[in-house]
Structure 1
Amino acid sequence: MKNKVVLFSLACATALSANTIKTIEYKNLSKISPKIVNETLDIKVGDELDNKKLNKAIKKFYDFGYFDDIAIYENNGNLELNFKEKPSIAKIEIKGYKSREDDIESLKSIIKLRKGSMYTKKRVQDAKSTLLDMLENDGYIYSVVETEVEKLNEHSVKLTFNVNKGDEIIIKKANYYGADNLDQGDFDTVTANKEEESVSWWFGRNDGEVNIDQLKYESRRINELYFEKGYLDAEVKEPFLNIDFASNQAKLDFFITEGKKYKTEDIKIFLDSSIVDPETIYPELKLIVGNTFNIKRLRKDQEYIKTQVANKGYAFAVVRFDIQKNEKDGKVKVVFNVIPGKKVYINDVKIAGNTRTLDRVIRRNVYLAPGDLFNLTDFKDSRSKLKRTRFFEDVKIEQKRVSEDKVDILVDVTEASTGNLILGGGYGSYDKLMISASVSDANIFGSGLSLGVSTDLSARKSKFAISLKNPAINDSEYNGQVEIHNSKSEINRDEYDVDKKTQGFSVSVGKQVIRDMYAGLRYRFDLIDENYNYDKAGREGNPLYFQDTDYITSSITPYVNFDNTDDFYLPREGYKAQTSLEIAGVGGDSKYLKSTSSFKYFYSIEDLTELDWIIRYKTQLRILSDMGQINQGDSLYLGGPKTLRGFKSYAFGPNNDQGLVEDPYKKSWTNSVEVNFPLIESAKMRWGLFYDYGMIGQSTFDEISRMSTGALLEWNSPVGPLQLIFAQPLNDKEGDDTSSFEFSLGSSF
């Protein structure tokens, strides 16, 4: 078709070459602008027809790749170019490969086709080849990809890729020839291609599926493992995969030369002591003289030394290491050479991506400002602090060198949705049907102020609260919060019910003491009304030793909080520590001291294993001391999602059986360990396994002790953190109020 058009155009141009162009018209043209067409044609009104220029222009038009046909007509000096454009891709479907929408969108990106792309047979063939390569890399052989092209109209088509996965190759045997000191279990921690294990379908077992694209990295991974174990002479050859296509089974062979194991004999750091005294660094090093050499620890020490030097302003410090092996004795000396360069100052802090949050709100959470001496720890901590604000879905901080002694700090944020209109519900074995509704914004008009109005309703309780929080009053280190609340709750026992009504407010003011640590004071005022409703048959012959109670609690609470975690909703590293002492008796009826201390620790094993698993631990210690009057509602209780899963809320505490008043419970200690796993990453859904242990008593901690285990599903949903908890008590006693399922909205671990 192309040659035919060119020949036609040449004939037309030759016959009419003496004509002068009066007008030029383009028809059916949408892919490129008339300006580009004019420049490509290189013929304008007033020119004479030039067959060479015309032929050259036609070739250029076809080079754009946008046209199936070009026809040129001339009538008495009126030149018309009629284009037939290639159709665009209006829709793409990939069937039979991935099921999740995000995965399919990722595939479209990989095959380099998207909605609006120009349709050509070559593009489709290239996409098909890419899909087949991916299937092969995933371990599928004899896969077939069929394409369908459906014409929607004159200008658009729909593409469908029908993927028929071939047979999967399973590694039945992995051999590690020459490995005398490490075994298969060691190698399985670092390799992607593993031998199939029995019951391979079970969680945590190796399925043996071949990952072709990962084979080229396996020898380096094993080599690195040996270096971590001290085998510095280890050599690992490229693996050999032997596939039996009749059975779709494979054997994977590694050939390893281990060499000897080295110990660290000596460590030297050559560094100008006027910058950092090396003697202060040696005690902090991960490598230990006399222990087995470990390349991973060496790299951590290299980063630690760089951080200490960069914290003094030497942003571009270079730390090189030299490993001096003594092969005869199996020992190594490590020498660090530090080249500090020049001191570097902050030229400017440039902020991008904030479509809503004010610049000043971001700047006050960045520890570096124009004119400051560069500090690497400040640089890293700024990202964590910005992530903890909840204002941003993602935060990137980079340094850009602008001169020998100055850098710009580039802060690029992706705004998160901070305003929520929530209407949710659920069902729990204790609270029965639950309905939650709230309107909140953690970042009002991008100012950093947080305002929330919420209500929680269930068969057992109701709560209404409104709060306003300012995390940095006038951009200072002071913060403040005002909260007003009204709640009703019902505690059900076998022979009586307790209806408790609370109305009150709290005001708090705090200040940042040191980085990540805040101290403050909170005042709380509550009007409490407790009504006891007894089953007459249940208390026949038993005197009622207490009456309905109305009392006031007025207290002040000094507190200290520390939080250096890397994210608000899903921390992967760091810890939170809190301690407070509520002093009731500043007016009112209640007179007591209530001490509460808690600690939470988060650790991701991803750096060690490439698995996105998070280990969580939390503990809480509470002590209540009588300073004149402790009312029933002031007592400590144990049970529920926040303290001891597997048991109902208020399961352990004063139960006042048969109308006899019990002393308040004054001491409690709870512990929880969780291992958290990814489920649906794109939907921000995860799941986990947990073990809880708690104890409570009137005079000692262990008068009552219980434990439980279970699983949970958590979702950082658009309406806030949500948890579904499935728990099983391990040592429950007869009469315990147990709970196998709980629903939690608005709180996480």
Structure 2
Amino acid sequence: MKNKVILFSLACATVLCADTIQSIEYNNLNKISKKIINETLGIKVGDEFNNDKINNAIKEFYKFGYFDDIVAVNNNGKLQLNFKEKPSIANVDIQGYKTRAEDIESLKTMIKLKKGSMYTEKRVKDAKKILLDLLENDGYINSVVETEVEKLNEHSLKLTFYVNKGDEIIIKKANYYGSDNLDQSDFDNVTSNKEKEFASWWFGQNDGEVNIDQLKYDARRINELYFEKGFLDAQVKEPFLNIDFASNQANLDFFIKEGKKYTTNDIKIFLDSSIVDPKDIYPELDLIIGNTFNIKKLRRDQAYIKTQVANKGYAFAQVKFDIQKDEKNSKVNVVYNVIPGKKVYVNDVRISGNSRTLDRVIRRDVYLAPGDLYNETDLNDTKSKLGRSKYFDNVKVEQKRVSEDKIDILIDVVEGSTGSLTIGGGYGSYDKLMINGSVSDSNIFGSGLSVGISADLSATRSAFSLSLNNPAIDDSKFSGDVEIHNTESEINRTVYDLDKNTKGFSVGVGREIIRDLRGGLRYKLDFIDEDYTYDDISTITNPYVDKDYISSSITPYINYDNTDNYQLPREGVKAGTSLQYAGIGGDSKYLKSTTYFKYFNNLNDYAELDWIFRFKTKVSILIDNGEINQGDSLYLGGPKTLRGFKSYSFPANEDGEVTKPYKNLWANSLEMSFPLIPNAKMRWALFYDYGMIGEDSFSEIQRSSTGAVLEWISPMGPLQLIFAKPLDAETTDDTSTFEFSLGSSF
């Protein structure tokens, strides 16, 4: 500052200083308005020149942080202030740390430097320190961050950070001293820092990389795990990381005091029965008397009780719990005390974050409206339904109190990419090499409409389809869709091969009847061409002949789905029934009734393990109403009906004679699914399948099989590797011991 005062004084000494200021001029001023500069200067035209006032003003200008230099000059009564502004950062680049564009943008936010920021050496120094801290937290030591400043013009520059990652610390051994009841695999499911495993490069395997910033939280996670296993006296100290800098390997030591394991002895709920009767709540609790106590289940029960009360309008109900330990007998009593508060009504529903998706598209999936009595389940179902819409990467549904009896519902969405290009493939014993792909957009122009083009190719099948779907016609509960398809399939039989080509379209309309229950009607028109090739037609007394025919049908249906997850259900039911009537014109004339039921139950409540019991059954009946073509026949076999037998195995040929279309089918499956590599979403399952099919009755052909399934929720969708063994196959049956299935699950 002294240099600036001297500079002003020298400038004034070179000329005859005027007594008053005749004009004020600002040069090279871009980042601050002249109004703010005038207010800060505190001097106006007509005032006397005053060195102290001008120097004090220059000091205030520097406090803005926008200037490298300021010079004041008295030019014969004209006060000139010449500013040299700090350059702006036109571009920030970080090289050598992350590769994905979104990760780099996240780093730019963390270092608090972005396009348009003012360049200062202190800001760059602070940014380098943040990057070095992040590298250390990621397990890199002795890292180096260098900067390069490239001047673009007088007012802007490009700033580049060159990151040289240091040595990576790998956890060679993780020790859990004092853990007698839990082992390393249990801890690996909850901790961030894990011991390096064999073939660490394989998905789901631990790479052993140290995350310094997560160490203190890992101790708490282990402590929480013990509470979930019933060890309420467990204590876990913060871990000790012993690093060998010569090899960049480390030993990680946790010190654990487990204590006793407690079982649940009694549960009491104190709640006004005029709101909700506690007798209706007890059977639904996750904590079970006589079982091991689990703090996670207690919290779920606490949330469940609050939800039941909040469903009656008590949005701000409080559920407090007290854990009463009987250390002598290792038992615990749980007491819930419910304070309901006042009934609350919805004041307004506010939506934010949707720059593309129309407000009305979101509001039609919101179960609460202004004036409604608050309902917690409606709030949670709103979040779930918006999350299932595929329009958003993230959905926040919150409540904001505006008075004692009114709240606003705040919906904040983060829109995602609704267009997708998917390519997948695989190999199956029947279909051989399989390739599938699709191009789709589930939210065209933010309208909620979806359109898709898909193709499936294999050695025995090629299918193409184009579809358009409107999930809420005119924002109502009605849905509509139209689909155009072309399918060519080859069905290989014992004495003949059938090449079947189907071209057609379908139009459907549906409606939500009640939550989780939908009904609808679908019209389908198919033009079918069947070509038969026989190994030796001379041996066939009644061969099928090539045939072209038209199938025109209408199908009413009703479906129910209350499962907890689309790709991997652990709880709930899927069920549906339909009745296809073919004979609205066309050649095929029949009725086909199809009913299915699927049940999922997580055995965690009973065995305290992530085992999933699954059961499904499907019954189809084909009724002759004038003419049933061979292509209309019911078929049994393959991954969807009877594993261990090839697709379309039954009806089979008997003694060289071609069978008639089969009209009765019943397929059943029992499965028990177990976790394999939870972090990679991999599981395995054991199954038993039993199926029946016949021309006049269900029991004409009966087959069963057993085996194992490897399941993976892959980025391309559900994938299954099926290893099956037929239990009662006959010598003429087409069996299959291995199948590959992509895109479908149980």
TM range (shorter): 0.7 to 0.9
SS at match of 2:306: helix
Which one is further off, 188-197 or 262-271? Answer: 188-197
Aligned partner of 2:407 in structure 1 is: 407
Which one is further off, 22-31 or 396-405? Answer: 22-31
| 1:341 Cα deviation after fit | 0.7
Alpha-carbon displacement from aligned partner over 1:24-78 (angstroms, at most 9, x marks no partner): 3333333333333333333334433332332122222222222222233332233
Alpha-carbon displacement from aligned partner over 1:194-226 (angstroms, at most 9, x marks no partner): 344555555544444333212222332232223
| Cα distance, 1:434–1:122 mapped onto 2, change above 3 Å | same
The 8 Å contact of residues 519 and 559 in structure 1, kept in 2 or not, is answered as yes
Q: Output aligned runs, 1:5-404, within 5 Å.
A: 5-12=4-11, 18-154=18-154, 155-177=156-178, 179-197=179-197, 200=200, 203-404=203-404
Equivalent AA in structure 2 for residue 595 of structure 1: T
| Cα distance, 1:472–1:105 mapped onto 2, change above 3 Å | closer
Quote the Cα distance in structure 2 between the aligned partners of 1:99 and 1:112.
Answer: 19
- Counterpart check, 1:579 vs 2:576: yes
* Identity among equivalent pairs (%): 57
Equivalent AA in structure 1 for residue 47 of structure 2: D
Quote the Cα distance in structure 2 between the aligned partners of 1:627 and 1:146.
Answer: 80
| 1:465 Cα deviation after fit | 5.5
| 1:436 Cα deviation after fit | 6.7
Quote the Cα distance in structure 1 between the aligned partners of 2:364 and 2:435.
Answer: 39
SS at match of 2:62: helix
Aligned partner of 2:546 in structure 1 is: 548
SS at match of 2:115: coil
| Cα distance, 1:620–1:79 mapped onto 2, change above 3 Å | farther
The 8 Å contact of residues 641 and 691 in structure 2, kept in 1 or not, is answered as no
Aligned partner of 1:718 in structure 2 is: none
Q: Output aligned runs, 1:380-529, within 5 Å.
A: 380-418=380-418, 430=431, 442-443=442-443, 446-450=446-450, 469-483=469-483, 485=485, 487-491=487-491, 498-529=498-529
Quote the Cα distance in structure 1 between the aligned partners of 2:614 and 2:102.
Answer: 32
The 8 Å contact of residues 233 and 260 in structure 1, kept in 2 or not, is answered as yes
The 8 Å contact of residues 235 and 258 in structure 1, kept in 2 or not, is answered as yes
Alpha-carbon displacement from aligned partner over 1:246-265 (angstroms, at most 9, x marks no partner): 44343333333333333333
The 8 Å contact of residues 563 and 569 in structure 2, kept in 1 or not, is answered as yes
| 1:622 Cα deviation after fit | 4.9
Alpha-carbon displacement from aligned partner over 1:527-578 (angstroms, at most 9, x marks no partner): 433232457xx5465556121223443444332223446787x778776724
Aligned partner of 2:659 in structure 1 is: 662
- Counterpart check, 1:621 vs 2:618: yes
Quote the Cα distance in structure 2 between the aligned partners of 1:713 and 1:327.
Answer: 44
The 8 Å contact of residues 204 and 677 in structure 2, kept in 1 or not, is answered as no
The 8 Å contact of residues 171 and 209 in structure 1, kept in 2 or not, is answered as no
Alpha-carbon displacement from aligned partner over 1:685-717 (angstroms, at most 9, x marks no partner): x986777977766445753758685687854xx
Quote the Cα distance in structure 1 between the aligned partners of 2:657 and 2:188.
Answer: 61
| Cα distance, 1:739–1:274 mapped onto 2, change above 3 Å | closer
Which one is further off, 113-122 or 467-476? Answer: 467-476
- Counterpart check, 1:559 vs 2:577: no
The 8 Å contact of residues 571 and 602 in structure 1, kept in 2 or not, is answered as no
| 1:380 Cα deviation after fit | 0.5
Alpha-carbon displacement from aligned partner over 1:256-290 (angstroms, at most 9, x marks no partner): 33333333332222211111112221222222333
Equivalent AA in structure 2 for residue 627 of structure 1: D
The 8 Å contact of residues 113 and 127 in structure 1, kept in 2 or not, is answered as yes
| Cα distance, 1:464–1:561 mapped onto 2, change above 3 Å | same
SS at match of 2:273: coil
SS at match of 1:703: strand
| 1:383 Cα deviation after fit | 1.3
SS at match of 1:272: coil
CA RMSD of aligned residues (A): 4.4
- Counterpart check, 1:593 vs 2:592: yes
| 1:626 Cα deviation after fit | 4.7
The 8 Å contact of residues 507 and 524 in structure 1, kept in 2 or not, is answered as yes
SS at match of 2:217: helix
| 1:320 Cα deviation after fit | 1.0
| Cα distance, 1:206–1:714 mapped onto 2, change above 3 Å | closer
The 8 Å contact of residues 9 and 51 in structure 2, kept in 1 or not, is answered as yes
The 8 Å contact of residues 641 and 667 in structure 2, kept in 1 or not, is answered as no
| 1:473 Cα deviation after fit | 4.4
Structure 2: 5+ residue stretches without partners: none
SS at match of 1:299: helix
The 8 Å contact of residues 140 and 165 in structure 2, kept in 1 or not, is answered as no
Which one is further off, 476-485 or 329-338? Answer: 476-485
What is the number of residues matched between the two proteins?
A: 721
| Cα distance, 1:226–1:437 mapped onto 2, change above 3 Å | closer
Quote the Cα distance in structure 2 between the aligned partners of 1:182 and 1:37.
Answer: 68
Quote the Cα distance in structure 2 between the aligned partners of 1:183 and 1:460.
Answer: 49
Alpha-carbon displacement from aligned partner over 1:402-429 (angstroms, at most 9, x marks no partner): 1000001122234445578x79898988
Quote the Cα distance in structure 1 between the aligned partners of 2:458 and 2:355.
Answer: 39
The 8 Å contact of residues 720 and 740 in structure 2, kept in 1 or not, is answered as yes
The 8 Å contact of residues 617 and 674 in structure 1, kept in 2 or not, is answered as no
| Cα distance, 1:678–1:24 mapped onto 2, change above 3 Å | farther
Quote the Cα distance in structure 2 between the aligned partners of 1:641 and 1:34.
Answer: 76
Which one is further off, 696-705 or 118-127? Answer: 696-705
| 1:661 Cα deviation after fit | 2.0
Equivalent AA in structure 1 for residue 543 of structure 2: Y
Equivalent AA in structure 2 for residue 50 of structure 1: N
Equivalent AA in structure 1 for residue 559 of structure 2: N
| Cα distance, 1:642–1:690 mapped onto 2, change above 3 Å | farther
SS at match of 2:99: coil
Which one is further off, 503-512 or 229-238? Answer: 503-512
SS at match of 2:386: helix
TM-score by length of 1: 0.81
Quote the Cα distance in structure 2 between the aligned partners of 1:109 and 1:469.
Answer: 39
| Cα distance, 1:251–1:122 mapped onto 2, change above 3 Å | same
Which one is further off, 60-69 or 426-435? Answer: 426-435
Quote the Cα distance in structure 2 between the aligned partners of 1:565 and 1:33.
Answer: 60
Alpha-carbon displacement from aligned partner over 1:615-652 (angstroms, at most 9, x marks no partner): 9979563534453654221234568897799999x564
SS at match of 2:544: coil
| 1:119 Cα deviation after fit | 2.4
| 1:122 Cα deviation after fit | 1.8
| 1:159 Cα deviation after fit | 1.6
Quote the Cα distance in structure 1 between the aligned partners of 2:692 and 2:216.
Answer: 60
Quote the Cα distance in structure 1 between the aligned partners of 2:221 and 2:506.
Answer: 56
Quote the Cα distance in structure 1 between the aligned partners of 2:87 and 2:594.
Answer: 72
| 1:328 Cα deviation after fit | 3.5
Equivalent AA in structure 2 for residue 98 of structure 1: K
Quote the Cα distance in structure 1 between the aligned partners of 2:463 and 2:197.
Answer: 52
SS at match of 1:253: strand
Quote the Cα distance in structure 2 between the aligned partners of 1:17 and 1:658.
Answer: 124
Which one is further off, 92-101 or 652-661? Answer: 652-661
| 1:117 Cα deviation after fit | 2.4
| 1:172 Cα deviation after fit | 2.5
Equivalent AA in structure 1 for residue 20 of structure 2: T
The 8 Å contact of residues 615 and 675 in structure 1, kept in 2 or not, is answered as no
| 1:7 Cα deviation after fit | 3.1
